[in-house]
């Protein structure tokens, strides 16, 4: 773009805005030398969508080929953005030619455009109440749609950060009045970010009640959904026990269904980390008494392992007691062997090893693709915690070491006993 083109465009902007913007402090006048929105036609008003067909065509063109927005990270550029915004929206001048509906429509279109979204965000970053009010009023009617829009979700997140409590209340009421809107947004790739931001901004306000109530009917669905589970996790981290009560109740009620689901087990483990009494004891007790079933499940075994990792003597005792008589079977399973290894790290290690010895299955386990890892763990921890039991294991395995030395699954056991590991 030539210097003459830039000067002409800048002059046009000054003339168009002279009757609108006249700050008492000359230092507030924007630096016209810094390009704001630059195209082959020079500086132009990005808010002209619907008002100027030629600019409308430019604005809807490919953003990589036609124009770029400058970085408004510094104060001067942000002032430029505010100046354009107020000038062309006609806020301080005669705006009879520019109706409120047209204004709102342009703001929504801007919010849904990649570059326009960046521009509006910079207005909100300035935290000017007037600019925030204009954008708030412009997008309110479409606020639910913006939550899940690829570009609009950024405007939503920024708006709920800077708007007043009254404005935030109106946003929350508008969203929660539409049945299922918050749940649908929570399972959307872009909407989930908006919901998480809304939870964060309302957590210390009475408005959180409305948000939780709107999410409540879909808590189970969210816990089973890969995207929706991020909202559940966010609630568990940022809200208190009373606010998370509905999540805990669902976790207890649908414990086994969640535990045996690919995504549900992740959500359940998050609950185990955060849950408080009285729901905590209910949930973990249910997992513990169903330990045999869950330990053999490709997803449920992770839930049992998470409870064991808490190192709570009461719950560990229940799980180890429930698994008695099943240790050999579980040790030869891909999922169950991980649970048995965790149990071997508990005070119940002697009971488990004695079960191996009593069933005369030690050598069979040593040769098993999964069982050999269990025996390695048993040797490692008995050597430290119960040396007498370790010696007994070695005595039983000793006659078979020459065979184990060349066995693909048993060679590590041979190395361990001979001090190579």
**The pTM is what?**
0.76
pLDDT digits (tens, 9 = 90+) for 167-187: 999 999 999 999 999 999 999
Domain segments of the chain: what residues? 324-420
The predicted-structure confidence for 347-364, as pLDDT tens digits, reads as follows: 999 999 999 998 888 999
Is the pLDDT at 196 greater than 80? The verdict is yes
Mean predicted lDDT score pLDDT of the chain: 80
Q: State the Cα–Cα distance between residues 331 and 210, nearest whole angstrom.
A: 48
Q: For a pLDDT cut of 70, what percent of the chain falls above it? A: 75
Q: Which of 68-82, 151-165, 250-264 has the lowest mean pLDDT?
A: 68-82
Reported as a pLDDT band with limits 50, 70 and 90, residue 101 is low
């Amino acid at each position: 773009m030539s210097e003459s083109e830039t000067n002409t465009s800048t002059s046009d902007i000054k003339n168009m805005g002279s009757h609108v913007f006249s700050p008492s402090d000359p230092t507030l006048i924007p630096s016209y030398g810094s390009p704001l929105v630059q195209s082959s036609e020079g500086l132009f008003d990005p808010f002209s969508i619907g008002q100027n067909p030629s600019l409308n065509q430019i604005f809807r063109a490919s953003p990589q080929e036609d124009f770029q927005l400058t970085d408004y990270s510094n104060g001067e550029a942000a002032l430029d953005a505010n100046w354009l915004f107020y000038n062309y929206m006609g806020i301080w001048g005669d705006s009879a030619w520019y109706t409120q509906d047209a204004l709102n429509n342009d703001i929504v279109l801007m919010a849904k455009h990649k570059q326009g979204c960046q521009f509006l965000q910079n207005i909100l970053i300035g935290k000017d109440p007037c600019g925030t009010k204009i954008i708030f009023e412009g997008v309110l009617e479409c606020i639910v749609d913006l939550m899940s829009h690829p570009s609009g979700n950024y405007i939503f997140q920024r708006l709920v950060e800077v708007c007043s409590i009254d404005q935030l209340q109106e946003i929350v009421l508008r969203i929660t009045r539409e049945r299922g809107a918050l749940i649908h947004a929570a399972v959307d790739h872009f909407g989930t970010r908006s919901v998480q931001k809304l939870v964060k901004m309302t957590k210390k306000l009475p408005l959180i009640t409305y948000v939780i109530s709107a999410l409540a009917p879909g808590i189970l669905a969210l816990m089973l959904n890969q995207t929706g589970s991020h909202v559940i996790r966010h609630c568990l981290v940022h809200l208190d026990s009373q606010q998370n009560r509905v999540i805990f109740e669902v976790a207890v009620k649908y414990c086994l269904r969640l535990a045996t689901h690919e995504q549900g087990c992740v959500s359940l483990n998050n609950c185990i980390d955060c849950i408080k009494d009285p729901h905590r004891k209910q949930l973990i007790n249910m997992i513990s008494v169903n330990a045999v079933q869950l330990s053999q499940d490709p997803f449920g075994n992770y839930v049992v392992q998470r409870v064991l990792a808490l190192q709570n003597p009461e719950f560990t005792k229940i799980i180890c007691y429930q698994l008695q008589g099943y240790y050999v079977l579980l040790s030869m399973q891909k999922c169950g062997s991980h649970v048995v290894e965790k149990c071997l790290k508990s005070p119940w290690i002697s009971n488990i090893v004695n079960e191996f010895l009593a069933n005369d299955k030690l050598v069979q386990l040593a040769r098993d693709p999964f069982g050999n890892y269990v025996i390695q763990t048993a040797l490692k921890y008995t050597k430290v915690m119960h040396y007498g039991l370790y010696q007994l294991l070695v005595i039983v395995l000793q006659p078979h070491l020459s065979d184990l030395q060349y066995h693909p699954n048993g060679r590590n056991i041979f190395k361990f006993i001979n001090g190579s590991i």
